[in-house]
Amino acid sequence: MTRRPAAVAALAAALFVAACSSTSRPPPTRLEPLAAKITGRQVWSQRVGEVDFPLAPAVVGDRFVVASGDGSVLSLAADDGRVLWRTAVGAPITAGVGSDGRFAAVVTRDNEVVVLDGARVAWRQRVPARVATPPLVAGERVFVMSVDRTVHAFDALDGRRLWRLQRPGEALTLAQAGVVAAFGDTLLVGQGARLAGVDPLRGTVRWEVPLATPRGTNEVERLADLVGPPLRVGQVFCARAFQHAVGCIDAERVTQVWSRPVGGTQAVGGDAQRVFAADGSDRITAWNTATGEVLWSSPRFLYRGLSGPIALGPTVMFGDAEGYLHWLAAATGEPLLRLATDGSAVVGTPVVSGSTVLVVTRRGGLFAFRPS
């Protein structure tokens, strides 16, 4: 079987990044004793199979929908962790989960989009290239972006292929979760270092705005795909351009709000006041959401393999590669609380439903916390 050149390049990029991170990173900064300054507790836990892909749990009202690498998908009540339904898609999963409350979508290692109606498999459709970005389910459509940046649209009810958007681009692409989001009647997708607004009915590009201007002497150095999930604050979407920049784009005005050069590979998080992210060495920085002004920077967690962050009221939380959760003061970066999970790496970015924060670990641990 022959593979498309872009898909091969994307896989090579992923292997390159993984090799660099595993061989050249210094040992993680040792954690100092911490007297908790806020309270928080684990309220429930569950387990799924091992999670060997950048899982993005779906939050649908008072429910979480999660998946594991072995093909399990389950829906959980956010308040107490009760399993509402569980099913298996029959193949290892590489991307997910997208859900609109009725339909849930994942993608398998065989590049098969599998859509569930509750616990029942509604349909399956194959795409030509590997998928790392969770599908978006919205407006009775399922949108899937493969690692070659091709966007596919399917009818959520019966799986009919509605359109495909394939654009020429760089030879090298990133096998990591990108940006696929909705804004009003526009589909937002990352296309390299640009955020593109796409007509969800026709698959035509309405506009695009660059978040970064990639520079480098070779294709690897110029690799700057947008990393998801993005942070949405009203009409403003903030994201990281892989290894190049962090910034925000106004999707209503179709303009770049700000962009700051900073390395790093994980998603950003934040709220209307601040955008948070860790760089390639896990130095955490907070920027003013409106202006991009640096508010504070912290080297306390260097090389600890930080996850994407989540803002929770006056705090921001990061997970790390040893399964610890770190709550920091959003205004200053001061450590406030540290809690443990199962000792394996926190996968992706934590999510929140109401007051319940869900964290997923590499070993398949699902841990729910409520800080106060």
Rounded to the nearest angstrom, the gap between the alpha carbon of residue 345 and the centroid of all alpha carbons in its chain is: 15
Residue 169 confidence (pLDDT): 63
The model's pTM is: 0.92
Map residue 158 onto helix, strand or coil. coil
Rounded to the nearest angstrom, the gap between the alpha carbon of residue 263 and the centroid of all alpha carbons in its chain is: 17
Residue 288 confidence (pLDDT): 98
Neighbouring CB atoms inside 10 A of 355's CB total: 14
Residue 131 near residue 144 (C-beta atoms within 8 A): yes
Q: What is the mean pLDDT of residues 319-342?
A: 98
Write the pLDDT tens digit of every residue in 201-234.
999 999 999 999 887 777 787 788 999 999 999 9
Write the pLDDT tens digit of every residue in 353-369.
999 999 999 999 999 99
Q: What is the mean pLDDT of residues 156-178?
A: 86
Q: What is the mean pLDDT of residues 268-273?
A: 98
Single out the residue of 41, 9, 10 nearest to residue 338, CA to CA.
Answer: 41
Among left, alpha and beta (phi > 0; psi -120 to 50; other), residue 254 is left
DSSP conformational letter for 309? -
Domains of the chain: 55-175 (2.40.128.630)
- Tokens encoding 279: 């760089």
Confidence of residue 371 (pLDDT cuts 50, 70, 90): confident
d(CA 344, CA 328): 21
**Residue that is written with structure tokens 């964290």 in the block:** 359
Q: What is the mean pLDDT of residues 298-312?
A: 97
Residue 10 has pLDDT above 70, yes or no: no
Residue 23 confidence (pLDDT): 53
DSSP conformational letter for 22? H
Residues in the chain, overall count: 372
Residue 95 has pLDDT above 50, yes or no: yes
Residue 5 confidence (pLDDT): 46
Residue 214 confidence (pLDDT): 83
Confidence of residue 1 (pLDDT cuts 50, 70, 90): very low
As separate numbers, helices (DSSP H) first and strands (DSSP E) second, the chain gives: 1, 32
- Tokens encoding 255: 């303009």
Q: Which residues fall within 8 angstroms of residue 189, CB to CB, at 6 or more apart? A: 143, 145, 149, 151, 165, 178, 179, 180, 181, 195, 196, 198
Residue 70 has pLDDT above 60, yes or no: yes
Mean pLDDT value across the chain: 92
Which residues on adjacent β-strands are paired with residue 278?
284
Residue 73 has pLDDT above 50, yes or no: yes
Confidence of residue 170 (pLDDT cuts 50, 70, 90): low
Which residues on adjacent β-strands are paired with residue 67?
73
Residue 351 near residue 365 (C-beta atoms within 8 A): no
Residue 257 confidence (pLDDT): 98
Which residues on adjacent β-strands are paired with residue 316?
311, 328
Cα Rg, the chain, nearest whole Å: 19
Q: What is the mean pLDDT of residues 264-272?
A: 97
Write the pLDDT tens digit of every residue in 18-54.
434 445 779 999 999 999 999 999 999 999 999 999 8
